[in-house]
Copies of this chain bind each other. A is one copy, B any other.
Amino acid sequence: MDLPPLTQGFVLHFGEMGSRWGINRTVGQIYALLFVSSRPLNADEITDRLQVSRSNVSMGLKELQSWRLVRLSHLPGDRRDYYSAPDDVWQIFKTLAEERQRREIDPTLSMLRDAMLESPGNADDRHAQERMRQMHELIEQLTDWFAEVRRLAPETLEQLMGLGAGAVKLLDFKDRVLRRGARGQEPGGTP
């Protein structure tokens, strides 16, 4: 692997991270390489740079395509496939989150929903079911909310995130203004 040192560190790090997140090392490395590359790369170029087998790269690219994380392109007069990572990091993050949702969260929600339809056999079962209901509620809330966030325009989102804990103040502000709306009222307490 004779990459520029900067890139090399990045690629190796994402290889490690990949394994920790249930994505295999090579796949992480391929993605890291595509992410920093200034132009699309074909499978052979990736093979050379990462020093792994051609077939390993082929499988890794297939995996990345199934995650919709790479874009395919072609050069005139060259029928090899060239791969690249989307430019927009926020877009990448959204795609990743969407796929994870589809593959892991949705089946989990579905399992929990099924479990909640069963009639509990005894007190312990009833307790277990109540716990599952709580978990279902949390996951559903988080994912519904995130689904809405994904729809926001990047600028709006940035504004919202820049707000941070300021959101609390904003809520408070809204309450106060609306309450005044109808009659004269005193502002609420500290958060």
A91 to chain B, nearest CB (A): 10
- Determine whether the beta carbon of A10 is less than 8 Å from that of B128: yes
Given known contacts A6-B115, A127-B38, A161-B141, A20 and B104 CB-to-CB distance under 8 angstroms:
yes
Number of copies of this chain that the complex holds: 2
- Determine whether the beta carbon of A131 is less than 8 Å from that of B177: no
Q: Which residues from chain B contact A13 at a C-beta distance below 8 Å?
A: 107-108, 111
Q: Which residues from chain B contact A5 at a C-beta distance below 8 Å?
A: 118
A167 to chain B, nearest CB (A): 6
- Which A residues contact B (CB, under 8 angstroms)? 4-7, 9-10, 13, 17, 19-22, 35-38, 89-90, 93, 103-104, 107-108, 111-112, 114-115, 118, 120-125, 127-129, 131-132, 134-135, 137-138, 141-142, 144-145, 148-149, 151-153, 156, 158-161, 163-165, 167-168, 170-171, 173-174, 177-178, 181, 185, 187, 191
A/B interface sample: 13 pairs, CB < 8 A: A4-B128, A6-B115, A21-B21, A35-B135, A38-B128, A89-B137, A148-B164, A160-B167, A160-B168, A167-B167, A170-B171, A170-B174, A174-B191
